[in-house]
A and B are shown apart, each in its own frame.
Chain A
Amino acid sequence: MGLLDRIGVRSPWILHFDTGSCNGCDLEVWALLTPRYDVERFGGVNRANPKQADILLITGPVTKKCEDRLRNLYEQVPEPKLVMACGNCASTGAPFHNCYNVCQGVDKVIPVDVYVPGCAARPEALIDGLIKALSMWEEKARAAREVKG
């Protein structure tokens, strides 16, 4: 990696949004930030501002009322962006399958790059997903830089 590339690498900022989850996965996402798992060591920082976010971390099946908000948030996140669906219900809507007020998973509303299974997703699985997301994001960011020249 050349010097310029290394300077260009930033810490991606993570935006967490709950689209109707049961809080089970949110708890585990929070546990990730704390001393036991501490994901900040991989370079991701949790910030709640969509305009500055790079990775969108979604928990919960998308409820009808959250659908537009989620789309709105997604549009605000600047390119290159990445979406990570945490938990079974964000991935497929599973436990709430066929509930009248849910859209069955995040990928019915916005494109998803990384799916993390589990109900609730275990912190280890979440870390695994996050590392995948980080490396995908770095690639995307590098590609974007190359296009710009």
Chain B
Amino acid sequence: MSRTTIIPIGPQHPAFLEPLNVSLELKEERVVGATLNLGYNHRGMEHALSLDYKKSQYLVERVCGICSNHHSAAYCQTVEAIYGVEVPERARIIRTITMECQRITSHLLALGHIAEVVGYENLFMQCFRERELVMRLVNEITGNRVHYSTNVIGGVKRDIDAAMERRIEDVMSDLRPRLEELHAIFSRDSTFVKRTKGIGKLTREQAIDWCVVGPVARASGVAQDVREDGFAAYDRVRLRPVVREEGDCYARTMVRMDECLRSVDLIEECLPLLKEGSVVLSVKGHPSGEGISRVEAPRGELMYYVKAIGKLQLDRVKIRTPAFVNVPAVQAMLPGARLADVPVITVSLDPCICCTDR
């Protein structure tokens, strides 16, 4: 009978990009328990966001740099709901396009990261090479690479002109075969498949119990996607959520890979919908009342609650980020795993500590 050993990993560790501390309880090579220690990234965003609702349009992107545009879209939608205004159609389509672009960059980052932790550095580089295409496109559309700062209360700041529409089309048709090539590698490469298939299983029941969202839930057979609610312009396009049943690291990776391709479809579907019109609506006075809004961020459902009191300050901003519910589920996946698989399992969740801690 061997004793259990406790191994702390983090906050600074090669496998994690972000400060996160996991205490693993080990029996020989097997993990029998895991405890998470979070909070290294807590900056007090909810408090900072409630100081000035206008500045918060931009500050809100600094909650998380990977899904910044989704944060600002969710925040703007919430405040628009408080004002009771309907955003112009064109602005909603532009928001959809930028959100889908960001989904591709975020998923390619996650895919590259998992390729790196299974030891496939070449694939990591390839993911990032394709990702750079979208980063550059977004830079052209919005003027920024990371924090787009295009969403404002009432619409978007920058329009997409005809030349830009063609440019988006070109990039998407260039990107599609590259993504298909990546898809073939991820689905067929024997090293990758062996390292991820059957590892870190999360059953459907567990997924529901731990309330996971986004690709993690969809990889465990829970068909749940907030885009089906039809915020922004998602009611105008044909959504086909990717759902898999296996619930292991492989399934989570493949869900992300498939979603990248679906995002390209969505962007291409959005472009012909763009009709002449204004992209921003001016709102008057300070907001007053309560609002709630949800978007599907790359990692899952992102919810904002705002309580405004007719002043520059807000009474309360509450954010429920997808990583906040997904990260604890690692405690359900780790027991029974081998020590060498721990980084793969953790990264397959696509943890985002800056979202979790805020």
Instruction: Give the interface of A toward B (CB within 8 A).
Output: 17-28, 30-31, 33-36, 48-50, 60-61, 63, 65-66, 69, 73, 89, 95-96, 98-102, 119-120, 122
Contact = CB atoms under 8 A, between A and B. Distances in A.
Contacts of B45: 99
A47 to B, nearest CB: 8
A18 B18 CA distance: 6
Contacts of B66: 23, 27
B19 A100 contact: no
Please name the 9 residue pairs, one residue from A and one from B, whose CB atoms are nearest each other, closest first.
Answer: A24-B65, A34-B128, A48-B14, A120-B146, A23-B65, A24-B146, A99-B44, A22-B65, A22-B62
Interface string B31-62: 00000000111111101100000000001011
Interface in B120-138: 124-125, 128-129, 131-132, 135
A48 B13 contact: yes
B63 to A, nearest CB: 7
B30 interface: no
B64 interface: yes
Contacts of A122: 145
Contacts of A22: 61-65, 68, 354
A86 B31 CA distance: 36
B146 A100 contact: no
Contact of A23 (B39, B59, B64, B145): B64
Q: Which of B44, B124, B125 has the most CB of A within 10 A?
A: B44
Contacts of A63: 40-43
Interface string B331-358: 0000000000000000000001010010
A35 to B, nearest CB: 5
A23 B11 contact: no
A20 B146 contact: no
Contacts of B43: 20, 61, 63, 96, 99, 101-102
Given A20-B40, A63-B42, A95 B65 contact: no
Given A23-B65, A98-B48, 17 more contacts: A19-B40, A20-B19, A22-B64, A22-B65, A22-B354, A24-B65, A24-B147, A25-B65, A26-B17, A26-B18, A28-B146, A30-B17, A31-B135, A36-B132, A63-B41, A66-B19, A95-B59
A65 B65 contact: no
B17 A50 contact: no
A108 to B, nearest CB: 15
22 contacts: A18-B19, A20-B40, A20-B42, A22-B61, A23-B65, A23-B352, A24-B62, A25-B65, A31-B135, A34-B129, A35-B128, A48-B14, A50-B12, A65-B42, A69-B19, A95-B59, A95-B62, A99-B43, A99-B47, A102-B43, A120-B146, A122-B145
A96 B146 contact: no
A120 B48 CA distance: 19
B19 A19 contact: yes
Interface string B285-299: 000000000000000
A18 B68 contact: no
Nearest to A49: B14
